[in-house]
Structure 1
Amino acid sequence: MRLTSFTDFALRALMRLAGEPARSFATSEIAAEFGISRNHLAKVVRDLADGGFISTQRGVGGGFSLARPPQSITLGEVVRALEGEALVECFREDGGCCSLLPRCRLKGKLAAAREAFMRELDGTTLAECAYPARSKASPARGAASRSNLPMVKWRSTRRSSPKASASRCRGSGKACARAPSPAFPSVASMRIRGGIG
C-alpha cells in the first residue's frame, strides 16, 4: 500500500499538532519545519478541517489546532478520509471495467491485504505517533550532531623542518622564529578511530 503525498503531509501535520495539543500553529510554521510547500499544506489543512480533525482560526493569533484529543483520532480514520483513490480499478464504486471479473482471484487477496493494513492503522492513535517540539539546543535540520560523528584522528604526511619554521621576516631580512603552520592531512593519512584503516 502506498499513501499519496497529500495524506503523508496531513499525517505529519497532525503528528506535530499532537506533540503540542494545547497550542495553535501557523501553516508557514509547519511547512518550514518539515520542508514542504506552504500552498500544498494549506490545501491539506482545509481538508483536515472539513474532516473535523482540526479547527482553524483566522486573523491575528490565528492558526490551526487539533479539534479532538489525539487519543481519540486514529490513523485509519485519517487515511480513509483523505485517500480517495481505489487500490485497484475493480475496487472503485462503479466496479471499473476490469475484464477479469467476475472470475478474478486477485481481488479477494488485495481486499484482505488492504483490510489488514487499515486494521493496523485503526489500532494506532495520533497520540502514539505524536511528534514533539524540537528543543532549542538541537541541531538544525540536516546538520549532524557532534556526538553522532565518528572521531577522526589524523596525522600529517608533511614533515616540518627547522628551515620551514625559520622564515624571513618581511622587510627585515632577519630570520624570524615562527611556529610551523598546521599541515592539512591527506585522505590517505586520515584514520577513523574504531573504524577500518
Structure 2
Amino acid sequence: MRLTSFTDFGLRMLMRMASAPDRAFSTAELAEELQLSRNHLTKIMQALGRAGLVQTRRGGGGGATLARAPEEIRLGDVVRLLEEGQGLVECLKPSGGDCTIDGCCRLKMRLRMAEMAFIDHLNRSTLADVALSGRMIA
C-alpha cells in the first residue's frame, strides 16, 4: 500500500509534535525542521484540527499542540483520516470509481480486507510509540 504525501507529511508532523506534547509548534518551524512545504503543512494542520487531533492558537505564543495525549492517538485512525477519499484501487474509491469489471470481480473484497487489516495493524500502535526523540537532524 502506498500512502499519499499528505498522509506521510501528516504522520511526520504528529510524530514531531508527540516528542514534545506540551509544546506549541508553528507551521513554519515544522516546515523547516521536516524540510517540507509550509503551505502543504498548513493544509494538513487544518485537516488534523478539524478532526480534533490538534488545536491551534494564533498570535504570540501560539502554534499547534496535540489535542489529546499521544497515547490516545492510534496510527491507523490517523492514516484512515488523512487517506479519506483515496481508494487503494479505483473500485475502492468512495465514488465507486470507474471499473469495467465491477460485479464479477473477485479481487475487490480481498483488497478491501487487506486495507482493513493494514489499518487494524497500525491501530495496534499509538503516536506515543513512534514519537521522535527530540529535534530532527537534517
- TM-score by structure 2 length? 0.92
| Structure showing the higher strand proportion among its residues | 1
Q: Secondary structure at the match of 2:64?
A: strand
SS across alignment from 1:64:
strand
Aligned pair 1:112/2:110, yes or no? Answer: no
Aligned position for 2:16: 16
SS of the residue corresponding to residue 2 of structure 1 reads coil
Partner residue, 1:95: 96
Q: What is the count of residue pairs matched by the alignment?
A: 137
Q: Which residue of 1 is the match for residue 79 of structure 2?
A: 79
Higher Rg of the two aligned structures:
1
Structure 1 residues 108-144: Cα deviation after superposition (integer angstroms, max 9, x where no partner): 2211211121111111100000012138xxxx52xxx
TM-score w.r.t. the length of structure 1 is 0.66
Alpha-carbon distance in 2 for matches of 1:90, 1:113: 14
**What code does the residue aligned with 1:80 have?**
R
How much has 1:40 moved relative to structure 2?
1.0
Query: SS of 2:31's equivalent?
Result: helix
Query: Which residue identity does 1:12 align to in structure 2?
Result: R
Secondary structure of the 2:121 match is helix
Aligned to 1:56: 56
Deviation >6 Å, runs of 4+: none
Taking structure 1 as reference, are residues 51 and 94 closer, same or farther at Cα in structure 2, changes over 3 Å only? same
- Relative to its length, the structure with more helix (as a share) is 2
Percent identical residues? 51
Aligned-residue Cα RMSD (Å) equals 1.4
Counterpart CA distance in 1 for 2:43 and 2:24 is 17
Give 1:92 shift. Answer: 2.7
Task: Report which structure shows greater RCO (CA 8 Å, sep ≥6).
Answer: 2
